[in-house]
Amino acid sequence: MFKFNFYTKIVSIVIVLLIPMLILYVYSNQTTTGVLREELNQSNYNQLTFFQNQVNTNIEMISSWPHLLIHDPDVASFQAIFLKDKVLNLDGINLVKRIQTKLGLQESSSNWRTGLSIYSPSLERVVSENGAGLYDQKRLNQLIKDGWQVSKKRSYGKDQFIFSLYTLSPFSSLGNPETANTIIKVEFDSSNIQDMLDRFKGDGRKEPFYYKKGVGAIYNRTANEELSGQLISKLEKMGLHEVDNLTVKIGEESYLVHAVLSQTTGWYLIDYMPLSDMMSPIYSSNRLFYITVVGSLLVGLIGAYLLHSQVQVPILQLVRAFRRLKDGDYAVRLSLRGSHEFAFLSSQFNLMVEQIQELFEKVYVEQLHVKEARLKQLQSQINPHFFYNCFSFITSMAKLRNHEAVVAMAHNLSRYYRYTTRQERDLVPLSEEIQFVQYYLNIQQMRMPRLTFLIHDSSQASSLLIPPLVVQPLVENAVLHGIEPQAEDGVIHILTERVGSYMYLIVDDNGLGLSREAITALTSTLDKPVEEEHGYGLWNVHQRMRLHFGEDAGLEFSLSPLGGLRAVLKWSISTEGEHANGLIEPSPDSNIVKTEGPDGSDITSR
């Protein structure tokens, strides 16, 4: 289960403080962006509408010129002239001059470059500011249509559009131009619109242009026609309304597009700008805010980490160290980092634990010395009960004149006590320990003929060095507490074997044995301090093995396959360890142990 520690709590607080700020900013940013987009759309619509109205006003003003000219007396006179031949008389020439003057004045009333022409079907002549001449009536009839007509021509390597409007008098002759008395044509080219687009763009617009589906587009003179062409292709697929505000993506860039339809010409005025240009201040503000939030989060995380590493971690280490000290681990030390107060506290803790450890080790060593001295004292003492039984056996055999039994008992007894009372070495070969145990078992076998034993000592094991008097207490425990209390025949097996880097000496008996609970209780007492005499021998064996060979060594108990108790001595060995522990070269027959049976015959075992 996840646990909130000091570091996670600080990080959580920082995140909880930043989340409302982030949510509030995102909401405020979205609101501001929406309002800005609406205001920008409205502003663009107003500006486009105003510009569209200016263009429409100019076009409508130009459209009104033919109606004014139709009511002019000179134009009326011009349409009533009928000539017998193709040559104008003096009055006709003067009339044409006056009409040309009026056409020039009309054209100059507008800042657009326009052209006015008056056609007289009766004279089959056309009059404009620049001159007069004949025209082809049939071709003219084909060009006359209602409303503004747009034609395209190539000028200076670029397409240019010509806007033309034909007005007929009377108006009813529009369907049949041949019946018209007068035809007035007014026209202008797209350069006039381009001039206005250039001025409109110069006022801060991006890329305004006119577009009509199926006709073409009128660009300003500095327009990016390639990009505008791509935009037109997108708009043709999407479709346009009278007023539109669209977002169109071209490549990796999004564009904000505004379009307004001209009711006069049927052309769309379209303006577009990169969305990033409009949103760049907001994007910059967003980046700055997010950088600030991330920076604040990093500062919070760094601050939390510093508090965690500089305060919480040393405190936790100190708490864990005290708990280990409470559990008896006096080897615990705190690592020193930095020069702050916790480093001083750690150094003082280490000094305190070191002094405590030295004190405990000194006491422990003194206790071991006392126990070793007590062991040597016990070794030098003769067990009165064992001594009485042995001499009682000698007395009985002497009365029975069994001199061989008396000699054998005296021989084994002398060797047994000579080994126990003259043992001053810290380590002895395992073969000597096995031989000493054999003396002890020979003595017990003489006293208890029902006792038999088997010793299997490998050549490798016999060369190992172990503390003296660590095997005999195991055998004595098996004889006195396992076999002697029962009436059946007793069997003791002693086996040495090596498994990997560990050596095992196993003592099995078929005696009374112990229950599993009793074995567990006996094993647990081996690692506890001894306060009573009971069990001192086994505890001493266990502690001496661990003292010499490490924590992995010692004494273990389990149920024996023979039915009694199994005692196992375990210790680790290695090539270096064997050399260091003083291995001796085994003799060829060192793994052969000879024992005597109750009848004096030799029993040989490997």
Mean pLDDT of 473-485: 90
Q: Residue 560 above 90 pLDDT?
A: yes
243 or 441: which carries more pLDDT confidence?
441
Q: Residue 253: pLDDT band by 50, 70, 90 thresholds? A: confident
Instruction: List the chain domain ranges.
Output: 71-153+163-185, 195-279, 338-369, 423-605
pLDDT in tens, 263-277: 888 889 988 888 777
Rg over CA atoms, the chain? 62
CA distance linking residue 33 with residue 27, whole number of Å: 10
- The pLDDT score that the predictor gives to residue 492 is 95
- The pLDDT score that the predictor gives to residue 320 is 86
Q: What is the mean pLDDT of the chain?
A: 80
The separation between CA 102 and the C-alpha centre of its own chain, rounded to angstroms, equals: 85
CA distance linking residue 169 with residue 185, whole number of Å: 12
Residue 413 structure tokens: 């007894």
Q: Residue 579: pLDDT band by 50, 70, 90 thresholds? A: very low
- The pLDDT score that the predictor gives to residue 558 is 94
Mean pLDDT of 531-544: 72
pLDDT in tens, 25-78: 788 878 887 787 788 778 888 888 888 898 888 888 988 888 888 888 877 777
Q: Residue 454 above 90 pLDDT?
A: yes
User: Lowest-confidence range among 310-319, 485-494, 557-566?
Assistant: 310-319
Q: Residue 339: pLDDT band by 50, 70, 90 thresholds? A: low
- The pLDDT score that the predictor gives to residue 375 is 56
Neighbours of 438 (CB within 10 A): 23
**Are the beta carbons of 482 and 522 closer than 8 angstroms?**
no
The separation between CA 354 and the C-alpha centre of its own chain, rounded to angstroms, equals: 42
- The pLDDT score that the predictor gives to residue 561 is 94
Q: Residue 221: pLDDT band by 50, 70, 90 thresholds? A: confident
- The pLDDT score that the predictor gives to residue 272 is 86
- The pLDDT score that the predictor gives to residue 82 is 55
Q: Residue 591 above 80 pLDDT?
A: no
Full-model pTM: 0.48
- The pLDDT score that the predictor gives to residue 452 is 94
**Are the beta carbons of 119 and 139 closer than 8 angstroms?**
no
Architecture of domain 423-605: 2-Layer Sandwich (3.30)
Q: Residue 576 above 50 pLDDT?
A: no
Residue 440 structure tokens: 């002890």
- The pLDDT score that the predictor gives to residue 483 is 92
User: Residue 41: how many CA atoms within 13 Å on its side-chain side?
Assistant: 15
Q: Residue 587 above 50 pLDDT?
A: no
Residue 264 structure tokens: 């006069």
The continuous run of DSSP H or E covering 520 comes out as helix 516-525
Residue 64 structure tokens: 């009104």
Residue 164 structure tokens: 């033309």
**Are the beta carbons of 559 and 566 closer than 8 angstroms?**
yes
Q: Residue 598 above 50 pLDDT?
A: no
pLDDT in tens, 340-391: 677 788 888 888 888 888 887 788 778 777 766 665 654 554 456 566 777 7
Mean pLDDT of 549-569: 93
| For the chain, percent of residues with pLDDT exceeding 90 | 10
- The pLDDT score that the predictor gives to residue 205 is 56
Mean pLDDT of 400-417: 82
Q: Residue 426: pLDDT band by 50, 70, 90 thresholds? A: confident
- The pLDDT score that the predictor gives to residue 418 is 78
The continuous run of DSSP H or E covering 117 comes out as strand 114-120
pLDDT in tens, 80-117: 665 545 566 677 778 788 888 888 888 888 888 888 88
- The pLDDT score that the predictor gives to residue 297 is 83
